Structure 1
Amino acid sequence: MSSAKVIRGASTELDAKVVELNVGGQFYTTTMGTLMKHPGSKFSEILSRSAKHYKDAQGRFFIDRPGTYFGPLLDYLRTGQVPTEYIPEVYQEAKFYQIHPLVKLLEDKPQIFGEQVARMQFLMGVPNYRENLEVLLHLARAEAVAMRSSKVVVCVVRTEEDDAKCTEPLHILEAKKTPVVKFGPWKAGPVTEDFVYCLEKDIRAKGYTVASQRYHLSRDPYTCFWILVFTWW
Structure 2
Amino acid sequence: MQQNGASSSNGSEGGCGGERQSPSRSPLLLPTAATTRVRRFIQERRTLPLPLPKVMVVFSAAGDADKSGDAMATADDDDSEKSVATGVARGMPSRCPLKVGQEQEFPEVISLNVGGSHFTTRLSTLRRYEDTMLSAMFSGRHHIPRDADGRFFIDRDGAYFGDILNFLREGELPRRERVRGVHREAQYYSIAPLLERLEDTQPLTGEKVRQAFLDLLPYYKDNLERIVEIAKLRATQKKARFAKLKVCVYKEEMPITPYERPLFNSLRFERADGGGGGGGGGASSGEVKLFEHHCEVDVTFGPWEAVADVYDLLHCIVGDLSQRGIAAEQQCIGVCDKHLINHYYCKRPIYEFKITWW
Q: For the aligned residues, what is the CA RMSD?
A: 2.7
Structure 1 residue 156, shift from structure 2 partner: 1.4
Q: Describe how 1:169-208 pairs up with structure 2 within 5 A.
A: 171=294, 173=296, 179-208=297-326
> CA deviation digits over 1:139-182, x for unaligned, max 9?
01001121121012111122344868974996462xxxxx5111
What residue in structure 2 maps to residue 104 of structure 1? 196
Letter in 2 for 1:157: Y
Distance (Å, rounded) in 2 between the aligned partners of 1:62 and 1:213: 51
The structure with higher relative contact order (CA 8 Å, sep 6+) is 1
Distance (whole Å) between structure 2 residues aligned to residue 144 and residue 70 of structure 1: 40
Q: Verify the 8 A CA contact 2:127 2:138 in the aligned structure 1.
A: no
> Which 10-residue stretch deviates more, 54-63 or 81-90?
54-63
Does 2:135 correspond to 1:17? no
TM-score (norm 2): 0.54
CA distance in 2, matches of 1:196, 1:91: 26
Quote the residue 1:142 is aligned against. 233
Higher mean alpha-carbon deviation, 64-73 vs 137-146, is at: 64-73
Q: In the alignment, is residue 227 of structure 1 matched against residue 345 of structure 2?
A: no
More helix by share: 1
Partners of 2:187 and 2:251 in 1: how far apart? 34
Contact 1:153 1:226 in 2 (8 A): yes
- Once residues 218 and 105 of structure 1 are traced to their aligned partners in structure 2, the CA distance between those partners, rounded to angstroms, is 46
Once residues 160 and 63 of structure 1 are traced to their aligned partners in structure 2, the CA distance between those partners, rounded to angstroms, is: 54
Larger Rg: 2
SS of equivalent to 1:207: coil
Q: Deviations over 1:26-62 (max 9, x none)?
A: 0001111101101101113333556535432333222
Q: TM-score, normalised by structure 1?
A: 0.81
- Offset, 1:63: 2.1
Report the alpha carbon displacement of residue 113 of structure 1 after superposing the two structures with TM: 0.3
Unpaired stretches in structure 2, ≥5 consecutive residues: 1-104, 256-261, 268-290, 339-345
Task: State the number of aligned residues.
Answer: 214
Partner residue, 2:99: none
- Larger CA deviation: 220-229 vs 152-161: 220-229
User: What is the Cα deviation at residue 228 of structure 1?
Assistant: 1.1
Contact conserved, 2:242 with 2:357, CA < 8 A, in 1? yes
